[in-house]
Amino acid sequence: MGVVVQKFGGTSVGSVERIRRVAERVAAVHAQGKPCVVTVSAMGKTTDQLIELARQVSPRPPAREMDMLLTTGEQVSIALLAMALSELGVPARSLTGWQAGITTDGIHGKARIQEIDTRVIRECLDRGEVVIVAGFQGKTATGEITTLGRGGSDTTAVALAAALAAEVCEIYTDVTGVFTADPRVVPRAGKMDEISFEEMLELAHLGAAVLHPRSVECAMKHRVPLVVRSSFVDEPGTWVKEAKDMETERNVRGIAHDMHVARMKVLGLENRIETLSRLFGILADAHINVDMIVQSEHDAERVDVAFSVHEDEGEVAKGVIEAHREELGYLKVLYETGLAKVSAVGAGMVSRPGVAAKMFAALTDAGIRIKMVSTSEIKISCVIPRDRAVEAVRELHAAFGLDVTADEMAGAVTKGVG
Amino acid sequence: MGVVVQKFGGTSVGSVERIRRVAERVAAVHAQGKPCVVTVSAMGKTTDQLIELARQVSPRPPAREMDMLLTTGEQVSIALLAMALSELGVPARSLTGWQAGITTDGIHGKARIQEIDTRVIRECLDRGEVVIVAGFQGKTATGEITTLGRGGSDTTAVALAAALAAEVCEIYTDVTGVFTADPRVVPRAGKMDEISFEEMLELAHLGAAVLHPRSVECAMKHRVPLVVRSSFVDEPGTWVKEAKDMETERNVRGIAHDMHVARMKVLGLENRIETLSRLFGILADAHINVDMIVQSEHDAERVDVAFSVHEDEGEVAKGVIEAHREELGYLKVLYETGLAKVSAVGAGMVSRPGVAAKMFAALTDAGIRIKMVSTSEIKISCVIPRDRAVEAVRELHAAFGLDVTADEMAGAVTKGVG
């Protein structure tokens, strides 16, 4: 029988009472005789609290020691969930990342899973035990403890599902599925029954915050059947599947936003063939994820390059560029925070012209200044001032006809409660 | 150059500020060019908080999962101390029990160290790094996480010192050394400059709570030079050494007490040759540490056996005995809590008669009822009602001439502050 992999996020295990409810949900699957592997995050705000503790000790703690510190959060969760299952009479065994055979590369703070040796997990499943694996963590080949970065528990779950050829990977979270926009920002956002891997990937990258982008990549690559569901409400959730299996009737499927964007402008770079590759090579070496890139050529001698990064990495990126000033040969660096990114996403977009025009018009009509633009086959993103972002998301959601009607909303509420 | 092993208890790393002070102390040793291995406990009340969290999830959680949970406490401490050292510019590397090569048996909750593979530690020391090892924890040969039980960080430190043939093992704690009695109970208790391993072992076993008994055993066995010092006050501390190197001028060196004693009476056991070995064999199989044992023979057919255990294990011991009622063939079990044990300890005791008589007289004069007695070559212990224990310790401390004078106290205080 196929293995079921379930992942519960920090909110879902945020208290003893909630851990008990997760245990009941897992016990129900176990009672059906299904082999069950569960991945959990750290309880509630634990990770943030540990980060704050580290910050009090050192403004820039070594990444290796941050991993040592942060991995304790998930270890607490897995132990408590195993206890809760045991209290229900369900045999359960918790495993840290290294115990579960998860090997990663050595990039502390954002390691990538290289291999999962599933022998220990299989042995536990063969004995009829529920296996509870600490999300977000692994071990390098030389025995160092690593973390996969924020949202890494999703990646752990999907990677385990892939390695175990699971029949489904269920991601339990504090929302009932993937919405056309963040329902906290857009009251008229509606839940999607299904979404393609590609769309989900764009939404994940764009800060929709339901699934970690790497987990979507991994699911897409290994064709892992994935569903996002609520751990609090018994609803079908949103299936993430291959585009060819879907009916896409709308060109724009959702509006995503990311509230933590910083922009860097490197002005007056020498205009050589290797300029761009050298600049972004240096940033890649520092493990900085660059998002949008815009290049503008002044003349034969000089170019300006602007790019956006996550706000948390802005200072580091600036430092790295300043440290390589001589090598890069630029005139000036400008750094701007307080920005946000809003994006329209949809696999149907590629075949419908005018989406970009409609997006710019909506933002312009609202008097919102567009600072950067980038496009892909299935999305258009604009960087705008953060203090206008909420308004922008609502305007775009309405402009692309995504707002649900009052009747639909009433229906959704009834369904949610039932 | 000889390795220095330092151990800092939970109070010494109880806050970010205190962790910084520990880092400064370690940095001073590192600055002298000495290879330095540091063991730390969990911060302050962390372990108690984790136990409470587990209790909320399950009244009797599986021991394996308790170990999974509790080992996170030390992991947090080692990461933070490594960060604090790094902040001071001292290269440091934290290692969990399994990373440090500490292999234990599989008795979760009170595992014993079987072997320490010091290769990783040596590699770090060779690179000039301070090595910070999580106390209290290890790994079984099959990859399970274990804990050494309460006070196990002392054992970790001493075992590391033995494995590394360290020049000294320094135990930093919240007191300035080993006292003739608990200074919180006996204001006139004095600090000892030195104490024999054997005396320390008795004091440790008897609840003096400065060093874990197993750590003293381990130090005695491997001749590890051991010193107990304050992490807050710069004083010489108490050296624990071989008796032959000491001048013992007093027959009784200290009065210890243990406030958490439970007594079990098994009445009317069949009087057979194997009765005792069977009874205590069953308790040993359940990993219950029995302390004092008193047997009284009624007649040829029946015997009564009374024994004391730590209060925490009382209920389990009772359950085990009741579960084996048929096999043991007894009439009745009586269980009593609310007891304490007071003990007079001294290596000189063996050659001086009348110590026991003096002890009983002092307790009788104070109207304190003695419920059990046990003696060894270097100690006499009495179980008494807990509510009289503080009084008993003070009476005995005075009766054996251990009270320091007012002048000596004034001197100690000046020294403490200086």
Which structural domains are found in chain B, ordered by start?
4-174 (3.40.1160.10), 255-399 (3.30.2130.10)
Residue A255 and residue A402 in contact, taking contact as beta carbons nearer than 8 Å = yes
pLDDT tens digits, residue range A392-409?
999 999 999 999 877 766
Report how far residue B11's alpha carbon sits from residue A52's, in angstroms, rounded to the nearest whole number: 21
- Residue range A3-48, pLDDT digits in tens: 999 999 999 999 999 999 999 999 999 999 999 999 999 999 999 9
Between B175 and B255, the higher pLDDT residue: B255
CB contact under 8 A, B54 and A80: yes
What pLDDT is attached to residue A231?
A: 86
- The pLDDT assigned to B354 comes to 78
Q: If you average pLDDT over residues B95-110, what whole number do you get?
A: 96
Is A147 in CB contact (< 8 Å) with chain B?
no
Cβ of B79 within 8 Å of Cβ of A68? The answer is yes
Confidence of residue B411 (pLDDT cuts 50, 70, 90): low
pLDDT digit string, tens, across residues B242-254:
876 665 566 788 9
**How close A113 comes to chain B (CA, Å)?**
20
Residue A171 has pLDDT above 90, yes or no: yes
Q: Which of A12-16, A200-204, A368-372, B77-81 bottoms out in mean pLDDT, i.e. has the lowest? A: A200-204
* Per-residue pLDDT tens digits for A186-199: 999 988 899 988 88
Residue A299 has pLDDT above 90, yes or no: no
The model's pLDDT over B292-301, given as tens digits with 9 standing for 90+, comes to 888 887 777 8
Q: Can you give the pLDDT at residue B249?
A: 60
The answer to which of A399-403, B224-228, B231-235 has the lowest mean pLDDT is: B231-235
pLDDT at A162: 96
- Is residue B54 less than 8 Å (CB to CB) from chain A? yes
Contact of A153 with chain B, judged by CB distance below 8 Å, is answered with: no
Confidence (pLDDT) at A247: 59
- Please determine, for residue B355, whether its predicted confidence score (pLDDT) is greater than 50: yes
Three-class SS state of B342 = strand
- Return the pLDDT at A264: 93
CB A309 within 8 A of CB A290: yes
Residue B9 is labelled as binding a ligand:
yes
Known binding residue B217? Answer is: no
Q: Lowest mean pLDDT of A110-114, A260-264, B196-200, name the range.
A: B196-200
Q: Looking at CA atoms only, how far is residue B46 from chain A in angstroms? A: 12
User: What is the structure's pLDDT at B149?
Assistant: 80
CA distance A130 to chain B (A): 13
Does the pLDDT value for residue A207 go beyond 60?
A: no
Q: Closest CB to A16: pick one of B56, B68, B98.
A: B56
* Nearest-angstrom CA–CA distance, B166 and B4: 6
Binding residues of A for ATP: 7-10, 173-174, 184
pLDDT category at B67 given cuts 50, 70, 90 is very high
- pLDDT of the residue at B72: 98
Tell me what pLDDT residue A354 has: 79
Q: Is the pLDDT assigned to residue A56 strictly greater than 90?
A: yes
- Spatial separation of the C-alpha atoms in residues B208 and B291, rounded to whole Å: 15
B15, B68, B88: best mutation site toward chain A, by most A Cβ within 10 Å? B68
Give the B window 93-132 contacts with A, CB below 8 Å: 93-94, 96, 98-99, 120
Determine the Cα–Cα distance for residues B282 and B272; give it in Å rounded to an integer: 16
Tell me which of B18-27, B56-65, B213-222 is least confident. B213-222
- In this prediction, residue A356 carries a pLDDT of 84
CA atoms of A121 and A204, how far apart (whole Å): 29
Residue A246's pLDDT band, with cuts at 50, 70 and 90, is low
- Looking at every residue in chain A, the average pLDDT score rounds to 89
- Indicate if the pLDDT at residue A255 is higher than 60: yes
Q: What is the mean pLDDT of residues A332-360?
A: 86
Region B248-274: mean pLDDT is 86
Cβ-based contacts of B54 with chain A (< 8 Å): 79-80, 83
Instruction: Identify whether the C-beta of residue B142 lies closer than 8 Å to the C-beta of residue B198.
Output: no
B79 close contact with A: CB closer than 8 A: yes
Quick one: pLDDT at residue B311?
93
Which chain A residues are Cβ-neighbours of B80 within 8 angstroms? 53-54, 57, 65, 69
Model confidence over A85-123: pLDDT tens digits? 999 999 999 999 999 999 999 999 989 999 999 999 999
pLDDT at A248: 56
Inter-chain CB proximity A120 and B99 less than 8 Å: no
First to last CA, chain B: 31
| More confident site: B116 or A197 | B116
B72 has a chain A CB within 8 A of its CB: yes
The pLDDT value recorded for residue B410 is: 59
Residue A78: list chain B partners with CB under 8 A.
68
- Burial class of B107 by CB neighbour count within 10 A (0 to 12, 13 to 18, 19+): middle
Contact A39, A133 (CB under 8 A): yes
CB of A145 within 8 Å of a chain B CB? The answer is yes
Q: What does the pLDDT read at residue A417? A: 33
Quote the pLDDT of residue A125.
Answer: 97
Mean of all residue pLDDT scores within chain B = 89
Any known ligand binding at B179?
no
Q: Do B57 and A120 lie within an 8 Å CB cutoff?
A: no
How much is the pLDDT for B251? Answer: 79
Closest CA to B382 of B257, B280, B254: B257
